[in-house]
Structure 1
Amino acid sequence: MPANDALRDHLLTRRSTGIGFLRDPGPSSQELETLLTIATRVPDHGKLAPWRLIIYAGEARAQAGERLADIVARRNPADEASIEIERHRFLPAPLTIGVLSVPQAHPKVPELEQVLSAGNVAFNLLHGAAALGFGASWVTRWYAFDEEAARALGAQDGERFVGFVHIGTPTAAMEDRPRPILGDIVRYWQG
């Protein structure tokens, strides 16, 4: 296989775009299909496809925010600021894709491998978005881990969100953050 300099350079400079810097336009329906195809080309021991994707686009983004706002309002009605934040949680990015881990009982494929496969789907969404000229950000927030909120956003029994990937056209270039020093985190096994 020949070296792919463009891919190498992308991987060396990959950077998420903050949600507040993602605007219209988002992917077209054809680009979305390509993006989902890229996302699901991940390691998947046992060919279980132990993940599911939920797309929040158009008016569904505001509806998802209203669901979250309702939960927060019921739990803490006096906190208007937090309620308003939840209303806009899936905005302004034109597209959000929720990635669910859907582990299945299997004698040779531990649940951890299946969860990691779902995480790879989320990461491939970032790569796919960049390949199509979009910015993206993979986030988890309280609603990924809160059972009532996750269910309101489409999770079913036995499923859990590994994250939400917000995608759109970037309005600013993000500065890189400090990266780990390899000497601090890499060791050669000596037996």
Structure 2
Amino acid sequence: MPHHAAALPSTAAHTDELEHLLSRRSAWPLKQPGPQAHELAAILQAAAVAPDHAGLCPWRFKVVQGEHRQSLLQQVLAHPLAQTEAVRGLHGKYTLKLTTAPTVIVLAAHIQPHPKAPEFEQLLAAGAAVMNMLHAAHLLDYSGFWSSTPEPLGGILREVMRFEPHDQMIGLLNLGTPATSQPDPAARPSWQTYAEVWQA
């Protein structure tokens, strides 16, 4: 039993579900099957329960599946920013990021000026929304992999996929089934290493 599981009260409700949630880990590469339409809808809906100060919904996601993955890839590789020698060397990496998993969700933080919700709070909310989707996918027995979109990939995706100019690209969420056998859940630090019960 994982170390973190030992601290769970044996009488807690939904202990099995919590144990399953605590076994989540990233997996790569991913293959079919990916989430079905109703499962994908539930995964995307999970984003909506992220903490969201001022109710701004400061995230925008675009889902790419099937042959549309190859279409997106071709537009990315044909973009003027992808023609430099340095970026041409990354075309293979872009191909893996955009076409390996059956479901690819392109992620952006949709930051909006607001007197009570500063930018950092909105970025945290967008990250929480993505984490909720990872958890939802795991509870549905799919695996996920959240990767970054370093420039110029982020800018290319923003333009090709018609995100708004001020949207900040925060990565790609790949969803599917592990293509290789996965090791046991990764060792996690005990909560006592990063949290304490404070007393005055």
TM over 0.5: yes
Counterparts of 1:44-123 in structure 2, within 5 Å, are 44-71=52-79, 73-76=82-85, 82-123=90-131
State the distance in 2 between where 1:128 and 1:184 align.
Answer: 27
Distance in structure 1 (CA, Å) of the matches to 2:173 and 2:116: 30
Q: Is the Cα contact below 8 Å between 1:155 and 1:161 reproduced in 2?
A: no
> Are the counterparts in 1 of residues 21 and 138 from structure 2 also a CA contact under 8 Å?
no
Unmatched runs of 5 consecutive residues or more in structure 2: 1-11
| 1:78-106 residue CA offsets vs partner (Å, 9 max, x unmatched) | x7653233233312210011221001111
Deviation, structure 1 residue 59: 1.5
Give me the whole-angstrom Cα distance separating, in 1, the residues matched to 2:170 and 2:152.
7
Partner of 2:9: none
Asked if the contact 1:24/1:169 (under 8 Å) is kept, the reply is yes
Aligned residue number for residue 138 of structure 1? 146
Q: Do 2:109 and 2:169's aligned partners in 1 also have CA atoms closer than 8 Å?
A: yes
What SS does structure 1 have at the residue aligned with 2:54?
A: coil
Deviation string 1:46-83 (CA, Å, 9 cap, x unpaired) is 11111111111111211222233334651117x76532
SS of residue matched to 1:114:
helix
Count of paired positions: 187
Q: Which amino acid aligns with 1:52?
A: R
Matched AA of 1:8: L
Q: Which amino acid aligns with 2:117?
A: V
- Equivalent position of 1:9 in the other structure: 19
* Residue in structure 1 matched with residue 195 of structure 2 by the alignment: 186
What is the match of residue 44 of structure 2? 36
Question: What CA distance in whole angstroms lies between the structure 1 residues aligned with 2:167 and 2:15?
Answer: 38
TM-score, reference length from structure 1: 0.83
Percent identity, please. Answer: 29
Comparing 105-114 and 145-154, the one that deviates more: 145-154
Question: Which residue in 2 is equivalent to 1:150?
Answer: 158
